[in-house]
Structure 1
Amino acid sequence: MPIEPITLLVAFIGVFVIAFMKGAFGGGFAIIGIPLLSLVMDPLTAGALLAPLFIGMDLFALRYWKPSTWSRPDLAVLVPTLVIGIGLGYVGLRLLDHRAVAIVMALITLLFAALWLRSGGQVVVRPRSTPKAVAAGLASGVTTMVAHSGGPPLAMYLLPLGMTKELYAGTTSLFFTVGNALKAVPWLLLVKPTTPLWMLMALCVPAIPLGVWIGWKLHQRLDQQQLYKACYGLLVVTALKLLWDGVTGYMH
């Protein structure tokens, strides 16, 4: 089947938006670009399209988020628990109600954002906590497999640490590099891409370096406070999208 021009345009823009988020914030907000793809394809096909492209985004972003931008003490706990969480999410795909998971995650995220607003939009710095890191890694792994959104649990752990914007973005980037690599195979097994889908992936590849680079340029222009405000704002958008997906899922 030939690729329709509108399908190519929407898919290219969707991949660009996700790559832009990767360059600006280190990742975790892919769900904001996914609704664009749902205009021209079903969610499973979109997932299969993005799975290999995520890896391309991650590898390209590592040109900017070098090891000096990784918080090793946090990643030492977050990454192993992420792996476990993805495994639990994969096993639980048939047991867990993804709509309920989306709604619960949305409500928790909105509460987190509301507490930030209550503090006057200031980040209340809290000390590093291993139990919180374990919970964040597990929750992110489960939600990234079940509800396509592992960003909120990680952000809710990292943002209150008050780390520099480079450290926040770099740590987030490496975290999702591992997560996306692990998710790629299950997604490609779940939805075996057709030849036209592989062609569409190839045509969307140029959106990756362009999106990541422009996002990184924005990151450089934002100061610490602006970046954190943007992250909290994106968390609210992500939560509202999750809430919408969960509630409308029960209506169908």
Structure 2
Amino acid sequence: MMTDPYFYAAAIPAVIMVGLSKGGFGGAMALLGVPLMALAISPVQAAAILLPILIVMDIVSLWTWRGNSDNKTLVIMLPGALLGIAIGWATAAWVTAPMVRLIVGTVALWFVMRYVAQKFAAARNGGTPLPQGHRPVEGTLWGTLAGFTSFVSHAGGPPYQIYTLPLRQDPKIYTGTSVRFFAIINAIKLVPYFALGQFDATNLSTSLVLAPLAPVATLAGAFIVRRMKPDIFYPFMYVMVFFTALKLIWDGTAHLLA
């Protein structure tokens, strides 16, 4: 078990922010988990410690958002996500997390800019952007990218949001579907993480110490999201994607330049 107090000074707020995100907030808070913990330990070890805690958060979220799900979204996106995890596993020795963060951040920033342009165009025409229907080909593509980036750097949120936010589902359905999608992905990721030797006694015991924070933070996030109206929830989510994109671009560029 980790005993360094500086590690826990970084890890405790990291787990709380990730828990709020898993409760339904999504966005940049989830991406701060590994970088915060990496202030005291290596990013690889931080990701390994965080994954079992994510599983605990997923269990709490699945119970909290039970009965809220769009199965069609899962049917479209999950096969691609499984392919993305397999690609991430197969290319783990060559693909770097900073490279993935830079690519995903750039795409996510483009997505938000496109949404803003559509909002301005709709305002000029006296209306609002209409919800889009399911697009299976696009859903499979973004699902694959979500699985890949989730495996490489726990950054699967932006690709998932790029496909699902334009659906403009009820916030409870959107959140419940997202919870199920990433719970399945995180459970599957356990196998290749074990195979790559990411779990040892020190990491797992440290995860166990931090795990009690997971349900508290997750339930707090869900409590807030349940009380948000759609006309507040969706602009908020796009703002979170925007800051997520900036964070990914910053991290990816800084590491590549270094």
For 2:250, the equivalent position in structure 1 comes to 244
Q: Which amino acid in 1 is paired with 2:234?
A: Y
Counterpart contact for 2:60–2:219, Cα < 8 Å: no
RMSD between superposed Cα atoms in Å: 2.1
Matched, 1:47 2:47: yes
From 231, 236, 239, give the equivalent of 1:225. Answer: 231
| Structure 1, 237-246 or 116-125: larger mean CA deviation | 116-125
8 Å Cα contact 2:88/2:152 also seen in 1: yes
Secondary structure, aligned partner of 1:101: helix
1:140 aligns with 2:167: no
Once the two structures are superposed, the pairs formed by residues 93-104 of structure 1 within 5 Å of their partners are 93-104=92-103
Q: Distance in 1 between matches of 2:213 and 2:161?
A: 25
SS in 1 for 2:151: helix
Q: Which runs of 5+ in 2 are unaligned?
A: 121-127
Moved more, 132-141 or 183-192: 183-192
> What is residue 222 of structure 2 aligned with on the other side?
216
1:186 corresponds in structure 2 to 192
Where 1:198 maps in the other structure, the secondary structure is helix
User: How far, CA to CA, are the matches of 1:56 and 1:111 in structure 2?
Assistant: 33
Distance 2:220 2:96 in 1: 37
Q: 1:161 to 1:219 in 2, by over 3 A?
A: same
Aligned residue for 1:88?
87
1:199 offset after TM fit, Å? 2.9
1:55-99 per-position Cα deviation (integer Å, ceiling 9, x unaligned): 111011111111x21101111121121111110111122343543
Equivalent pair of 1:83/1:179 in contact (CA under 8 Å): yes
Q: TM-score, normalised by structure 1?
A: 0.91
Residue 137 of structure 1 and its aligned partner are, at CA, apart by 0.8
Aligned counterparts of 2:229 and 2:242: Cα–Cα separation in 1: 20
Cα distance change of structure 1 residues 208 and 2 upon mapping to structure 2, 3 Å threshold? closer
The answer to whether the 8 A contact 1:28-1:176 is kept is no
Question: Aligned partners of 1:145 and 1:95: how far apart in 2?
Answer: 14
1:114 aligns with 2:113: yes
Larger mean CA deviation between 145-154 and 210-219 belongs to 145-154
Counterpart-to-counterpart distance in 2, 1:204 and 1:149 = 21
Whether the 8 Å contact between 2:104 and 2:248 is mirrored in structure 1 is: yes
AA aligned to 2:79 is P
Greater displacement, 90-99 / 140-149: 90-99
Q: Give 2:71's aligned residue.
A: 72
Q: Distance in 1 between matches of 2:129 and 2:9?
A: 39
- 1:123 Cα deviation after fit: 5.0
Amino acid at match of 2:58: D
SS at match of 2:63: coil
Q: Relative to structure 2, which stretch is displaced further, 229-238 or 185-194?
A: 185-194
1:118-149 residue CA offsets vs partner (Å, 9 max, x unmatched): 23376542121111111111111111123431
Asked whether the 8 Å contact 1:51–1:188 carries over to 2, the reply is no
Query: TM-score, structure 2 length as denominator?
Result: 0.89
| Shift, 1:192, TM fit | 4.0
Instruction: Please give the alpha-carbon distance, in whole angstroms, between the structure 1 residues aligned to 2:192 and 2:178.
Output: 22
Match of 1:34 in 2: 34
Distance 1:155 1:221 in 2: 20
1:98 to 1:139, Cα distance in 2 relative to 1, 3 A: same
CA distance in 2, matches of 1:53, 1:70: 23
* 1:13 partnered with 2:13: yes
Residue of structure 1 equivalent to 2:124: none
How far apart are residue 183 of structure 1 and its match? 1.3
1:111 partner SS: helix
Deviations 1:205-239 (CA, angstroms, capped at 9, x unpaired): 11111101110111022111221122111111221
